[in-house]
Amino acid sequence: MVRLNEFLRVVTKFLNYTGSVALTIMMLLTVVDVIMRAFGHPIIGTFEVVGLLLAFVIGFTIPKVSYDRGHVFMEVVLERLDSKIKDIMNVFTRLICLVLFAALGFNLFRTANEFRIAGEVLPTLNVPFYPVTYGVGICCFIECLVFVNEIARIWRGERYE
């Protein structure tokens, strides 16, 4: 489990960096497009590229936030429970999330495969977008590994407090 934790630390950091770069590019592209529109020369395909970059931002940063336990926790109910019950509740919620993200990743892979087979491309730029769909699907499976790692940490007695 130590190797899994180290692997996730490195991979989630890289994915988060990728998502951060995508957010920066998205922001710069939008600003430049607005300025160019003022002069009558908009950047063609900005809307499509921003949509793809948004998929990177959302999909690639979720594993790092989960790994760092950066999500908002509603502990109003849990704070009054025994630590053993808290552990059970935390494991239960991670198992539910594990199933949901596994289903999401599986469906993203199916959808990406359908896009690839159909030859789907961005209408303006004619760029295929199935690689981004595969990428977000991979991030969903990495998120599943984060949940497995968290369950193992709970079993080892590492508390969330």
Mean pLDDT value of segment 111-119: 96
Rounded CA-CA distance 118/138 in Å is 21
DSSP state string for 99-117: HHHHHHHHHHHHHHHHHHH
pLDDT in tens, 82-102: 888 888 888 999 999 999 999
Question: How does residue 2 score in pLDDT terms, banded at 50, 70 and 90?
Answer: confident
The residue ranking higher by pLDDT, 82 or 139, is 139
- Would you call 18 helix, strand, or coil by DSSP? helix
Global pTM? 0.88
> How much is the pLDDT for 73?
67
The residue ranking higher by pLDDT, 159 or 161, is 159
Mean pLDDT of the chain: 91
Give me the residue spans of the domains in the chain.
2-155
